């Protein structure tokens, strides 16, 4: 009894091992870039949430001081009213001022709680780990702004989304070469045939394997799908090229915008720190002197104090905006809005499906 066993393997699988390996390597590198991009995004989210949480806490502290000032003014107004030195209209104005500041303080406390919870979610902590302490104020701003040379070129070389897109493009380029090759040889296969002869002997059966050589098979389909596959591969490749160009343009724009915003935010805070806040403090001091000399009323002094505290709140917002701009600059130098180019062609199918043989 002779049993033949036929081994069928495709020449395509032999000749495309190298290109397929390179494509798989590019895909693995792209996956590493995308993982790093996710990590950078998570770290950026924690950083921004921390800035907001500390800002909210400092805002509560400023409003507490404002409330203390308004409360003291109201108490003074009540004593003046008891002595007949303050009309009812001025008393009502003091009460309204206190009520407004109390409402602002209540809103700021709610905002501070929400900002802290957002930070907890971004950090992914729970239980005892949520009992961390936040600083009472944001860090001081740097004395000198960062100076970055060739910032657009730096972004194109360092951004993870651009690097991932380049790996996509390299994989697609290799895939096109593989597709063009398979469109030519996908119809040629080789059958390796071996014969197993079974001879009956006394007490059993003995198997003997004998090679029977190779035979080539050529299958002629109704139409050749190779041209269609090559055209589709080139279309996908050119689409990926355009996506990479668009990503590079966006990267240049984002980094220019972030760099300009960084310097603008630093200048704006400097304007508050050097001009607006000191002038409001001087006005408050002058109003206090006038009040002590009985040249200004309690309402005049209270108005100056409220303007001073409002200037401090605006200065705090400017400081917060700077640190946000600083975080944005760091982020766009490494990541950005893009997430790379998705592979639109299944590399595993570059050699064609079973229907093509």
State pLDDT tens for residues 226-285: 566 667 777 777 888 888 888 888 999 999 999 999 999 999 999 999 999 999 999 999
Please compute the mean of the pLDDT values over residues 41-49 and round it to a whole number. 94
pLDDT of residue 318: 96
Q: How confident is the model at residue 340 (pLDDT cuts 50, 70, 90)?
A: very low
Residues 123-141: tens digit of each pLDDT: 999 999 999 999 999 999 9
pLDDT of residue 171: 77
Task: Determine whether 163 is exposed, middle or buried from the number of CB atoms within 10 Å of its CB (0-12, 13-18, 19+).
Answer: buried
- pLDDT > 60? residue 199: no
pLDDT of residue 57: 96
What's the CA gap between 301 and 285, in Å, rounded?
9
| Separation in Å, CA 200 to CA 207, 210, 212, 230 | 9, 16, 21, 55
- pLDDT > 90? residue 105: yes
Say if residues 29 and 353 touch (Cβ distance below 8 Å): no
Say if residues 80 and 298 touch (Cβ distance below 8 Å): yes
- pLDDT > 70? residue 194: no
- pLDDT > 50? residue 168: yes
Please give the span between the terminal C-alpha atoms of the chain, in angstroms, as a whole number: 32
User: Which residues on adjacent β-strands are paired with residue 6?
Assistant: 193
Domain that holds residue 138: 2-356
* 236-250, 298-312, 317-331, range with greatest mean pLDDT: 317-331
Q: What average pLDDT does the chain have?
A: 78
- pLDDT > 80? residue 176: no
What's the CA gap between 321 and 315, in Å, rounded?
10
**DSSP track, 108-163:** HHHHHHHHHHHHHHHHT--GGGGG----SSPPPPPSS----SSHHHHHHHH-HHHH
What's the CA gap between 134 and 288, in Å, rounded?
35
Say if residues 66 and 58 touch (Cβ distance below 8 Å): no
What's the CA gap between 266 and 144, in Å, rounded?
9
**DSSP track, 218-258:** E---SS-THHHHHHHHHHHHHHHHHHHHHHHHHHHHHHHHH
What's the CA gap between 286 and 6, in Å, rounded?
104
pLDDT of residue 202: 55
Q: How confident is the model at residue 8 (pLDDT cuts 50, 70, 90)?
A: very low
Here the tokens at position 122 are 């971004």
pLDDT of residue 239: 82
**How many helices (H) and strands (E) in the chain?**
8, 3
The 188-201 sheet, strands edge to edge: 2-10, 188-201, 204-218
Q: What is the CATH number of the domain that holds 86?
A: 1.20.1600.10
Percent residues over pLDDT 90 in the chain = 39
* 28-32, 108-112, 145-149, 231-235, range with greatest mean pLDDT: 108-112
CA nearest neighbour of 11 among 191, 274, 224: 191
3-state DSSP percent of the chain in helix, strand and coil, to 5: 70, 10, 20
Q: How confident is the model at residue 221 (pLDDT cuts 50, 70, 90)?
A: very low
| Cβ-proximal residues to 43 (8 Å cutoff; 6+ apart), any chain | none
The structural domain count of the chain equals: 1
């Amino acid at each position: 009894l002779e049993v033949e066993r036929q081994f069928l393997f495709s020449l395509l699988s032999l000749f495309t091992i190298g290109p397929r390996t390179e494509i798989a390597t590019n895909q693995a590198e792209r996956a590493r870039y995308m993982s790093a991009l996710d990590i950078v995004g998570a770290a950026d989210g924690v950083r921004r949430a921390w800035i907001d949480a500390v800002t909210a806490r400092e805002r509560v502290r400023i409003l507490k001081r404002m409330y203390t000032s308004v409360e003291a003014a109201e108490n003074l107004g009540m004593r003046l009213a008891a002595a007949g030195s303050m009309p009812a209209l001025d008393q009502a104005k003091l009460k309204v001022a206190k009520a407004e500041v109390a409402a602002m303080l209540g809103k700021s406390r709610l905002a501070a709680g929400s900002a802290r919870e957002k930070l907890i979610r971004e950090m992914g902590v729970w239980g005892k780990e949520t009992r961390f302490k936040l600083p009472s104020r944001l860090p001081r701003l740097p004395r000198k702004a960062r100076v970055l040379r060739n910032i657009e070129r730096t972004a194109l070389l360092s951004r993870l989304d651009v690097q991932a897109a380049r790996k996509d493009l390299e994989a697609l380029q290799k895939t096109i070469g593989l597709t063009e090759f398979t469109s030519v040889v996908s119809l040629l296969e080789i059958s390796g045939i071996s014969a197993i002869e079974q001879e009956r002997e006394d007490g059993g059966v003995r198997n003997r394997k004998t090679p029977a050589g190779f035979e080539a098979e050529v299958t002629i389909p109704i139409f050749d799908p190779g041209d269609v596959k090559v055209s589709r591969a080139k279309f996908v490749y050119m689409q990926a090229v355009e996506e990479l160009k668009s990503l590079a343009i966006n990267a240049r724009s984002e980094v220019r915008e972030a760099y300009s915003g960084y310097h603008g935010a630093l200048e704006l805070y400097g304007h508050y720190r050097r001009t607006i806040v000191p002038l409001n403090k001087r006005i408050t001091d002058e109003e206090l002197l006038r009040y002590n000399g009985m040249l200004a009323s309690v309402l005049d002094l209270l108005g100056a104090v409220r303007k001073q505290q409002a200037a401090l709140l605006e200065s705090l917002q400017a400081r917060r905006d700077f640190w946000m701009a600083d975080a944005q600059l760091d982020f766009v130098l490494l990541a950005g809005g893009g997430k790379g180019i998705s592979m639109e062609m299944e590399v595993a199918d570059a050699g064609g499906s079973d229907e093509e043989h």
